Structure 1
């Protein structure tokens, strides 16, 4: 009888959703999710998609607040200085919490927050060239006259670092200019003001399809099959791998049980087939998830890899 009871209890335990495992009664009211990006981009999309499923699982809503500007430092500062009660949360990425520290835009970084998890990894970025540039491969960029290829970026931000690492990997010498956000990069590519940029494929696929842009490659370790027949840079003999983990973080001092509850809810979300479908249709993004400990290992490794570019990033500011 005892053995049977234990077996029944064990089976019942396996049916309990992960989000119910934490003892805290959080959340009891709406959570403010702050992002350092404008509406419509990949960060905004991921945050709002998460928020929709969070409400479905917990019954509690999230309000996504866009605070673009300052290389996301406006948003990260707002979260860092917020009350650590679990009702203010950051949804950002390595550009917001690591690159800004490396570039000197912020005097704080991941150690100044309670990192919850990596809820997703952007594997939908590609490097594209304008049709008028005549560039079709990384080899074309390398072979171009030094300084003749213009790379559009946001100085001191993630895309600036993309350009620097791409240059080093290819041996190319590009002119790196500050063009602004993804939408501004697209406008500059179409207008012939820049030649190359790193952008989410979902934002440029129509321009690629109609021949206005050419994809040079995807900076993933292995091909993201959702992007179609686009080779990685490594397949083209360029050692350039750079994808961007998103980060969920709370103000320092937030109750560890709240952080753990959010981690388990996010894991549940990533196990939903409809969530995977939304990511695929939105930004050609496969589902990824790293719990807190794995997330910190990954983020610290990224910070170490980016630190050698500190002077170059700061010199452009």
Structure 2
């Protein structure tokens, strides 16, 4: 088996010069670098990355965990990879499909020194299980969690959701349906409180059958559209916790012969690319800055630095799916 010593002899340079070329750390002249690379090619030498990682204690790689591909993933992942690249880090994506075992296998990569840290976009295991892996490396998430061991880049979803309901009210809507995520999530609980407070302040009755919860968002926008279609008394506006589900809702209703927003107003949450493409009114809560802050936390923990985080703002993005409502029906 070819070793670093063989490469050094072939290139007529020192072992440390070969090591600097492989690691990318330290000065090496262009002439020596060329000799080393030519020697590596001649000898078909491939560095033993696992051994080198164990020796150095770092891989310059962050694991990015998600159940699978869905709406906000593209924006978040693109921003996360972009800032990681700026600081010379790689990102390895693990799609767990919501499988607890797959998630543990990914977390174990920190234990085996194959990852320096982990970011969790969507989790499968309970937080106490995930927290136990923080002894092997820093962990960050965009889930809302109060933990000493896991960093959260979450924003106040109460404020953002309340802002969307106020806008619907100001536009003249009084019968508003809600599409929320997993009821166990703290962000969903924040939205539920926003709904309660909003209806109390505006003195509007809460219709339980106008609030929908979902565990995943692969096709739930379409199924919720079917439920809306079958209702005798329909909400004239629908507020969604994510643009992706809102887009599925709109698409399905259009195939059923409805017009949006003439038949029902729609407001989303994320300001993702799909909301721009489909002209959906939405709430922007700085997904890209959440991604950047998550990486900055991991970087600071790994490198004992104090890079500042980006300030996050919540703003309403007005598009075509929430026009002025002129003849609100009676709620009786």
- Alignment TM-score, normalising by the size of structure 2: 0.41
- Alignment TM-score, normalising by the size of structure 1: 0.42
Q: Select the structure with the greater relative contact order (CA < 8 A; seq sep ≥ 6).
A: 1
Higher strand share: 1
Larger radius of gyration: 2
